[in-house]
Amino acid sequence: MNADISVRDATAGELIGSLRRTLAETSAPMIALHEPEFKGREKEYVADCIETGWVSSLGDYIVRFERMVAEACGVKHAVATVNGTAALHIALLLAGVKQGDEVLAPALTFIATINAITYCGAIPHFVDSETTSLGIDAVKLGAYLDAIAEHRDGSVVNRKTGRRIAAFLPMHTFGHPVDLDAIIALAERWGIPLVEDAAESLGSRYKGRPVGGFGLVGAISFNGNKIVTTGGGGCVLTNDDTIARRAKHITTTAKHKHDWAFVHDEIGYNYRLPNLNAALGCAQMERLDSFLDRKRALAKRYEAAFHNSNGFIFMREPDYATSNYWLNAVLLAPELAASRDLILEMTNAAGFGVRPVWTLIPKLEMYADSPRMDLSCAEDIERRLINIPSSPALAGT
C-alpha cells in the first residue's frame, strides 16, 4: 500500500476511534453534527398558541422570549426577528451601513454574515483569522488598516477604493469568542462602529461577560442547528434605547401604532418572529443552562480524547473565554490537510456526521471581486478544520 494512503487511513481510523470512545453511550446508527432537543415545555407552549389563536405576529411569547434572550446576553434590549440573517441585516443598517460602504468581516464565516452586508448595498472587505479563536485577527487587521485606511471628512476611507469603511463585523466562530478587547480598541481608535455576529454564541462569555452586547448592536440566530432554536429565528441585541426602538419599528413594516389605520412612515421589513416560534424559543431558553452544561461536558471529553493525538488538535476555548462549544472542532495536522476530504468521507461512512468548515467566502463567485487582506491563516484553517458531532444529548440527558 502507498505510504500516503496508509497514513490517511490510520488518521481516519484514529478519528473514528476517538469519536466511538467519546460517544460510546449513543447507539444511533448515524450521529448528527448537531440536533435540537425538545424535552422541556415546548409542546405545551406551542399548543397554547394554537389554542388561544395567537400564532402569528403578535403575542405574549414574543415579549417573554425577547426578555429571556436579553437577560441571557446581558443586554438591555433583544428584538426578535424571523431569522438570524434578518437580525444581522437590521443590525448593520442601524449601525449606519449604507450603499457603497465597506464592512470589515471575516473571510472564514457562514455566508449569512456576508450576505447581510450586501443587503445593505455595501461591500464586504475580507479579514484574516487567527488560530486561537478562529475569529478575525485584530493584530493583523490593525497593521492592515494603518496601511490602507485614512481619516477623511469625519469618516474612515479605504485609500485604495475610496469607499467609506462603515463597520467592523467580527463573528464568534462555533461559539468561541474573538478577542473583543483588541477589536474594541481598534474600533475606538478608528471611530468605526462594532457590530457583533453572535449568531453561534448564545451563552458564550468573554472575560466573564456574555457576548452579543459588546458592540453598538449585535445579532444572534435561533436556527434549528443552533444551541437554542425557535425553528427559525433571530434577535437584534443592543444596549441603546433608540436603536432598539428603531429595530422594532423597521422589522414590523414601520407601522404606526393605531387601532385600525394603516400608516407606515418608512420602507420597513416584515422581519418579525411569529409568536408560535417564540413559544418554542421560551421553552428552549428555559433549558439553556442544561444545554450549556452538557455541551461543556462533551467538549471536555473530546479534549481528553484528542489530548495525545498526532493527527488532530482539538479546538479548545481561548483562555480569556467561556465558550458555549456550539460546534466542536479539530484541526488536522498540516501534513494531512490534503487527505481531509477522504477522512471526512470515511468518518461519515462510519456513522459520524463530520463536516469541513465553510468554503472561504471570497472564493465564492459572488464575492470574488471584493477587497481583502492577506488571508493565509484563514486559508490554512479552511484546509484543516473538521467539525465533529456536538449535540447536547451526546453528553446525556
Ligand X SMILES: *Cc1c(COP(=O)(O)O)cnc(C)c1O
What residues line the site for ligand X (CB under 6 A)?
83-85, 88, 109-110, 112-113, 171, 197, 199-200, 221, 223, 234
Minimal CA–CA distance to 76: which of 245, 227, 198?
Answer: 245
Angle between helices 241-251 and 84-94 in degrees, nearest 10: 130
CB nearer to ligand X: pick between 224 and 396: 224
Least separation in angstroms between residue 223's CB and ligand X is 4
Give CB contacts under 8 A, 24+ apart, made by 266-271: 269/86, 269/89, 269/90, 270/82, 271/81, 271/82, 271/86, 271/87, 271/89, 271/90
Least separation in angstroms between residue 134's CB and ligand X is 11
Least separation in angstroms between residue 88's CB and ligand X is 6
CB nearer to ligand X: pick between 171 and 315: 171
Locus of grid cell 448537531: 34
CB nearer to ligand X: pick between 112 and 236: 112
Least separation in angstroms between residue 85's CB and ligand X is 3
CB nearer to ligand X: pick between 130 and 197: 197
Give CB contacts under 8 A, 24+ apart, made by 362-368: 362/107, 362/126, 364/111, 366/118, 367/114, 367/124, 367/126
Report the alpha-carbon angle 160-164-169, nearest 5: 105
Least separation in angstroms between residue 179's CB and ligand X is 17
Assign 113 to helix, strand or coil: helix
Query: Strands, E, within the chain: which ranges?
Result: 77-81, 102-106, 123-127, 149-152, 155-158, 165-168, 195-197, 205-206, 209-210, 217-221, 234-238, 312-314, 321-322, 328-332, 355-356, 385-388
Least separation in angstroms between residue 12's CB and ligand X is 27
Chain center to CA of 341: 24
Going edge to edge, which strands form the sheet with 217-221?
77-81, 234-238, 217-221, 195-197
CB nearer to ligand X: pick between 234 and 311: 234
CB nearer to ligand X: pick between 74 and 231: 231
Q: What residue number has its CB nearest to ligand X?
A: 84
Least separation in angstroms between residue 219's CB and ligand X is 7
Residue 297 burial (10 A CB sphere; 0-12, 13-18, 19+): middle
CB nearer to ligand X: pick between 83 and 339: 83
Least separation in angstroms between residue 132's CB and ligand X is 18
CB nearer to ligand X: pick between 84 and 362: 84
